Amino acid sequence: MPVRNAPVPIIRLRRRVAKLITNLLSPAVLVAGILLSTAWHTAPSTQKAALWGLIAAAAASFLPITYIIRGVKRGQWSNHHVPERDRRSLPLLVCVGSTTAGTVLLAWADAPRQLLALIACMVAALAIATPITLALKWKISIHALVAAGVAVATVVLFHPVWLLPTAVIAAAVMWSRVEIRDHTVGQVIAGAVVGMFATGVLLPLWS
């Protein structure tokens, strides 16, 4: 968390590190990574892995981030993290719609149950976070939601040995969002709780 009265060079270094973590471990990156990994892990062939992985990653990651980047170029929001709470409605709704469509398409393509369950959990998490952001006018952290959800999903779908490294990644993402002051501590904790709940409860039931 930000440290008051720290030397200016230290503050600048912390901000640079935080921005790097925020960008490298953005929701689009983590979502694409876990979906492609799950497709590869569960598919009976390379061709099926490529098909299912690309459908899932396109729906939940590539298409939404492309829409957001186009919006940045048009001046709709200041950057691809959409820090303006009152302008998050369209990006969130696009993410929900695209991810839902991807779930339906994967079911039609006879994707494995684990992959379907994973992307459905993402829809569920967004379905919780979107009204919190729009109706309650509170900027819950999507970065924290995704990082925590991916950590839980990795443990559930692969092996408990991944708990520590994925927890460290999630904690780093949460720290970075507070450090650069895009979110409060409460907002990143709330995001993490939603991500862990949607994935930790629903994924074992559906997969």
The two tokens of residue 97 are: 């719609």
Give CA–CA dist 188/140, Å, rounded. Answer: 7
Report whether pLDDT(52) > 70. yes
**Mean pLDDT (the chain, rounded):** 93
- pTM for the model stands at 0.91
CA atoms within 13 A on the CB side of 170: 27
- pLDDT recorded at residue 11: 85
How far apart are the C-alpha atoms of 132 and 135, rounded to whole Å?
A: 6
Dump pLDDT digits (tens) for 81-127: 888 877 888 999 999 999 999 999 999 999 999 999 999 999 999 99
In whole angstroms, what is the distance from residue 32 CA to residue 59 CA? 9
Give the pLDDT confidence of 121-152 residue by residue, as tens digits.
Answer: 999 999 999 999 888 788 999 999 999 999 99
pLDDT of 191: 97
